[in-house]
Amino acid sequence: MFTLTTFLAYTLFVALYAWYRLRKEKLGSQDGYFLGGRSLTGIVIAGSMLLTNISTEHLIGMNGSSYKNGFIVIGWEVTSALALILAAVYFIPKYLKMGLTTIPQYLENRFDGMLRSYVAFFLMISFVITLLPIVLYTGAINLESIFNISEVLELPKDDALLITVVVVGLIGSLYAILGGLKAVAVSDTINGYGLLIGGLAVPLIALFSIGEGNISEGLTKVFSNAPKKFNVIGAKDSVLPFEVLFTGLIVNQIYFWCMNQTIIQRALGAKNLKEAQKGLLLTGLLKIFIPLVIILPGVIGFYYFGESLYQNQDMVYPEIIKKVLPASFVGIFAAIVMGAVLSTFNSVLNSAATIFSLDLYKRHFDSKVSDKRLVFVGKLTSSVLAIFAIAVAPFVAKAPDGLYQLLQQLNGIFFIPIASIMLVGFFTKNISAFAAKVALFVGLIFYLLASFVFDTGIHFVHIWGIEFILNLVVMYLISYYYPNKKEFKINDLKVVTMEDWKYTKPFSIFLCAVTLIIYITMGSINGLE
């Protein structure tokens, strides 16, 4: 009963605080609803970015993967800092100059309106069939485990998970539908920093217990139990080979942190360039330290459970929570987990609504639509997508390599082709709109065939790299015969103040140094796995 009370109290606090912050906001305008009135600060941007990214697919999926594979999966996290440097230094200044609300808007400016529509449509599909369902299902797993919902309701576990999915989906959609980006960002900030504190408490309490009152002794015991689990250099046959950091992974990271609507929309809502850069680089710092929350507990889980959960690796984190957290903390942590689920879910819904409203509805159905009508369309879109996501969620349950790995594999369907188009758009002048469209579809077809139809034996991240190169070759060949005739120039629309944050360069150098140190120090631990 106490667990439930603390859970409800924390959840209610976040909701009331978000309402208090938004009570005077003008949510009926386009910028007000979709970009938080372009008023977001660096702290809010970082908190929202982190929690949009880190949800239960990380708490459950990443810890499940590290339990089985060790620290080699850290590559997904620490390399994010390098991509966020690129976002802060190169991409966000250009986005803010152009006054963008969505990434597809850039594609129309650089190429043409049809490519903008294609990419917007594919992004909508990716949200519905990949991210949203997995976020919902992993959240349901955690909450069902903490509260034993199946036992309380006297239902089979699968039925209880389904009910939890529906409830979480409905609550999450309310944030996005009623409050827009500002409501999402404010609640994200509280839950994001709550996740850091609560998430850190799990491994620290576990290590304190293992070390009988001494955290460092606990860490020594966990390390001695399986030193290879602490190595960050993945072998060629591992779940994340080291070589992929230099092929498809870097392309994926650049896309995710520099071009992904769900992420970059927070920076697009910044009050000025300084706050956007501050938010992006602070997110980079948080991503370097987040493995303590989403990787270390999984390795600790191996100390507790050995190989007993290898066939059900996504259950290791819920089991650790039940094992190490005092009853008085469980409710608050469950609320934080709930917040993480809601954050990513409502963030994606908001981004999907933004893309549909501005890139599809306004362009194809009503070019003179009023702000009030556009906001209504956004809310309706969020509602429909939420229903679809809830319906799809139960079908992601049986991923052979874990839910996080499944999410990443599915992301490649859309992310890499879009990334290739975006990058050539920024760094070349001769690539034509026709070439970009052909490359988009060639990349999609190639990845689907190479990953899901034919057994190539190639790691899917390497396939990302091959797909990227293929897209570039296609675009250059076609543009040779059908050259670009459209001149593209970035004009400063004076939407926000464009003064650089004075610590951008030193902070960027610091993040690069820390990333390098991690790989040098942990890469030498006990050889390759």
Average pLDDT over residues 482-510: 91
Alpha helices in 99-131 (DSSP H): 103-110, 113-126
Poorest-pLDDT segment among 25-34, 285-294, 355-364, 424-433: 25-34
Identify whether 513 is part of a domain.
Answer: yes
> Lowest-confidence range among 169-183, 205-219, 233-247, 503-517?
169-183
Distance CA 473, CA 42 (A): 39
Cβ-proximal residues to 479 (8 Å cutoff; 6+ apart), any chain: 430, 431, 432, 435
Q: Which of 34-48, 124-138, 150-164, 255-269 has the highest mean pLDDT?
A: 255-269
Q: Is the pLDDT of residue 39 over 80?
A: no
Q: What is the pLDDT of residues 451-482, one digit of tens each?
A: 888 888 888 889 999 999 999 999 999 999 99
Higher pLDDT: 528 or 486? It is 486
Residue 273 lies in a domain: yes
Q: Which domain holds residue 484?
A: 2-390+398-489+503-522
Residue 164 lies in a domain: yes
Tell me which of 127 and 306 has the higher pLDDT: 306
Looking at residue 179, its pLDDT comes to 54
Of 201, 444, 198, nearest in space to 338 by CA: 198
Burial of residue 329, with CB atoms counted within 10 A of its CB: 0-12 exposed, 13-18 middle, 19 or more buried: middle
Q: Is residue 264 part of a domain?
A: yes
CA pair distance 526, 341, nearest whole angstrom = 36
Whether 527 is in a domain gets the answer no
Selection from 140-154, 222-236, 347-361 with the highest mean pLDDT: 222-236
Q: What is the pLDDT of residue 527?
A: 44
What does the pLDDT look like over 415-429, one tens digit per residue?
A: 899 999 999 999 988
Rounded to an integer, the average pLDDT of 482-486 is: 87
pLDDT at 34: 55
Quick check: is 494 in a domain?
no
Give me the mean pLDDT over the 91-102 stretch. Answer: 92
Higher pLDDT, 434 or 404: 434
Q: Which residues pair with 272 in a beta bridge?
A: 497
Please say if the pLDDT value at position 280 is more than 60. Answer: yes
Instruction: Give the total number of structural domains in the chain.
Output: 1
What residues pair up with 270 in beta bridges, in sequence order? 40
Q: Percentage of residues in the chain with pLDDT exceeding 70?
A: 87
pLDDT at 77: 92
More confident residue, 286 or 178: 286
Q: What is the CATH number of the domain that holds 458?
A: 1.20.1730.10
Please tell me which residue, 100 or 84, carries the higher pLDDT value. 84
Higher pLDDT, 390 or 464: 464
Tens of pLDDT, residue by residue over 224-260, are 999 999 999 988 888 888 988 888 899 989 999 999 8
Higher per-residue confidence, 30 vs 132: 132
Stretch among 189-198, 213-222, 277-286, 432-441 having the lowest mean pLDDT: 189-198
Tell me, yes or no, whether 205 lies in a domain.
yes
Distance CA 159, CA 228 (A): 39
Residue 103 forms part of a structural domain: yes
- Mean pLDDT across the chain, nearest whole number? 83
pLDDT confidence of residue 143: 74
